[in-house]
Structure 1
């Protein structure tokens, strides 16, 4: 079984600063810790929201550690609504890729904490257009009320490849008290999927469940995005280590548990498991 993890985080607080880290996540999660998860394969690293001033340093560090982590592509941190500052940062990213060999395949401006409408502002659209011109994808990490903004972005820039992180973070409840997919989320996912330049990551639901999840609980949410996006725009991602924290703390085995859950679901639904676990991510991120 080939695996290309489309959503892997790595960090080392002794190297870079991550103000948001707390609890079990406020520790080093890099090559040695990743090896303990027993999930072999390649991965796309997604920026871990270090300090903005360290975005380029994060790319350098991840590129240096790539042989030990299996990282074959990097989704770098970038603020896309800063005008000339955004353009200068994208230029610096491209130059760093040439100088270091870092394989930059996309950028992420973390939208989940931004005001609604950020992704449709004139400044953001200009920055996103510059991302598209470089052939990079954009990772959209949003909360459900922000899904219409991502749809508007996709409509405004059909040349921009957009990857929706974590199914848009729907409320899934917990294994003992599961929730059913919300009607508004189902509607907004359907509206977004109309745009062929958008794909979705099957990732992050364990974190949304606070680490208390099971395959039966999450299957209805996977079904919704599969019905909306079709089999060729579904990408498995571990969201490691964020989605490997449960009520008892960090659990190395949860990365493999999520892989097994999604692979089993895909097989049960008659989907091409290799496409979900490998080929779709390789194509969307230009790694094929």
Structure 2
């Protein structure tokens, strides 16, 4: 476990920094050190094998080139300057998006269209067309079943004379719900006071949340027990997208001789870990 001084900084890191870095590479655990002594560890270092079928075709909802492709298709017959981007979000099938008509004039209405992107033909197909009046009760659009899909939701506000009051669109992304990750350390044999480099790599499509500070457990010969030690923890919200890694240095101050493991929790109540020894 981790304890100590907590300094809160709420940001999303998209690049590297001096005391922690994100990259596309892996930190290899030396095979020659692993073979010296077998370490009992029932929590995997990598959650599962990489699903290449999904990963090779996953929608890249953060990629500028992918967003440019989507926008060029959507605005082929629309004026880009006339539309306001209301949101850019990740959803799960079955979630609902409320259409708030209360902001319209009394005689106003929304023309609501949900479009699904056809990645083969590189065009949007209409799947929902609805009219939402100002006096309608709460109206919602439900995300259809299916994963690895991109939708655009168009809302055009009009009055009774069909004058356009405003035009909005939302980008809706439903990626694969593929959780996978791997944790690495720079070696498996340390001395007390050494600096360990810990690297977390996202091997799935679900963004991972992590941060500075590490959780440790110690082996007592029969079971793993939480291990507390003091560390200064900067509470920086770090989001790891597909293929990205985050590395940090952890000083093993006060670690006694023994067998330990560093634990990382990932979505879905999963854990990954890597074991090491201190001599």
Q: TM-score range by the shorter chain?
A: under 0.3
Higher relative contact order (CA 8 A, sep 6+): 2
In terms of fraction of residues, the more helix-rich structure is 1
What is the TM-score of this pair, normalised by structure 1? Answer: 0.23
What is the TM-score of this pair, normalised by structure 2? Answer: 0.24
Whichever of the two has the greater Rg, that structure is 2
